[in-house]
Amino acid sequence: MKQVLRKILSSAIVLAAFACGKDPFPGGGESNLEPVPPPDTLVTPRPDTSTTKKFFFGVNGHPLNQEAYATLSSGEQMSLLKSLGMNIYRVDFTVTSQGKIIPKQRFEKLRLAADSADITILPMLPDAKLDYNGTEEIAYQQGYDRGYGFAQENGNYFTYYNIGNELDNDCILPKKSGKVAEHYDSKKFKIIAAHLKGMDEGIKAVDPTAQTMVNASWMHYKYLQMLEQYGINYDIVAYHWYGEMETMASSTYNINDITQFLSTQFSKPIWLTEINIRNRTGEVSDQVQRDLLNTIIGKCKENPRVHAVIIYELFNEPVFNSIESYYGLYDWEQPYKKYKPKLWAAEQERKIAGL
């Protein structure tokens, strides 16, 4: 039966491609590469038992690959998320060219803890090191292999996949806003688009029910529209929005609510997958962070088109000695053994505890 299902799915994909006249590499000529065929065993579709839209509220973390998280158990991280009233954890993965997780053992502990706490893990599946002087065909196959391998090994654990991260910044031209196609390097864009198309199609060859998202930031919404025009069937618009963007969008473009603006540009669900202030030296007050987070979270919850908002990030990371050091909702009193909540987290903990 599984073999028959695979043949039916493969035939349907081929017929759909001919019927729509889709070139798998729009603007890039014909491909000489054969995509890896769908596996004999597909991921079992997950039934949708929900009767209303689920709103995801969560935080980013780096439990699989960064020092600030290495001494914390997976269970302790999940307890912190629960204390903040959160139900999703966006996690960046390190993978091989075939999508195999490194280190697998740490992920298994994280997955079991998340399952026990009823917290969804949103994997950020990183892109390959792209060769912008290479071909779209090679970029596509690299993406397909990563997506296919990752979903084949882990597809039963995930519904949502964040494919690539902030690749809009790799192809935006200097001093351009990103509002029109001419603001992007077309050669780099096509390599990126081919790669993301491969990741999306590799994942969905294994799990046709998967929901993929691509992220952008600032005024780079045109980049996401260009990806749609290229033929990438991603499902969710993911957006990164920081404090200076909130201020500049209002003063420069009269955009006072990025969620409402994105709702006019896309028909897809919208997720804000990174929000916070820029605290470059650690001197910005916790009150500023608290106020911005509450403002943006409030806008997201009031907009029915927005299905998720995710703060960046759970812990400060002093090891970097850079802008990355101060994004956390929790600060270290003794790295990496004793921590304390910043103002927003402390107030949220009291709210969730009913105090």
- Asked if the model's pLDDT at residue 13 lies above 90, the reply is no
Q: State percent of the chain over pLDDT 90.
A: 81
Contact yes or no for 314/77 (Cβ under 8 A) = yes
Q: How far apart are CA 120 and CA 105, in angstroms?
A: 18
Q: Does residue 45 or residue 151 have the better pLDDT?
A: 151
Among residues 41, 235, 230, the alpha carbon closest in space to that of 122 is found at 235
- Asked if the model's pLDDT at residue 319 lies above 90, the reply is no
Residue 197 lies in a domain: yes
Residue 241 lies in a domain: yes
pLDDT in tens, 171-185: 999 999 999 999 999
Range of the domain at 294: 61-353
Q: How far is CA 284 from CA 59, 151, 249, 325, 334, in A?
A: 20, 41, 21, 13, 21
Q: Does residue 196 or residue 6 have the better pLDDT?
A: 196
Residue 30 lies in a domain: no
Q: How far apart are CA 299 and CA 85, in angstroms?
A: 18
pLDDT at position 39 is 43
Residue 81 lies in a domain: yes
Residue 33 lies in a domain: no
pLDDT at position 112 is 98
Q: How far apart are CA 350 and CA 83, in angstroms?
A: 9
Contact yes or no for 197/231 (Cβ under 8 A) = yes
Kindly report the CATH number assigned to the domain that includes residue 196: 3.20.20.80
- Using pLDDT thresholds of 50, 70 and 90, give the confidence band for residue 6: very low
- Using pLDDT thresholds of 50, 70 and 90, give the confidence band for residue 151: very high
pLDDT at position 40 is 45
Residue 7 lies in a domain: no
pTM of structure: 0.87
- Asked if the model's pLDDT at residue 335 lies above 80, the reply is yes
pLDDT at position 274 is 98
Taken in order 262, 263, 267, 269, the sign of the CA dihedral is positive
pLDDT in tens, 251-305: 999 999 999 999 999 999 999 999 999 999 999 999 999 999 999 999 999 999 9
Residue 12 lies in a domain: no
- Asked if the model's pLDDT at residue 38 lies above 70, the reply is no
Residue 345 lies in a domain: yes
- Using pLDDT thresholds of 50, 70 and 90, give the confidence band for residue 27: very low
pLDDT at position 46 is 47
pLDDT averaged over every residue in the chain: 89
Average pLDDT estimate for 54-78: 95
Among residues 125, 122, 124, 99, the alpha carbon closest in space to that of 111 is found at 122
- Give Cβ neighbours of residue 311 (< 8 Å, ≥ 6 apart): 58, 59, 60, 274, 275, 276, 293, 329
Average pLDDT estimate for 89-103: 97
Number of domains forming the structure of the chain = 1
Length of the chain: 355
Q: State percent of the chain over pLDDT 70.
A: 85
pLDDT at position 53 is 73
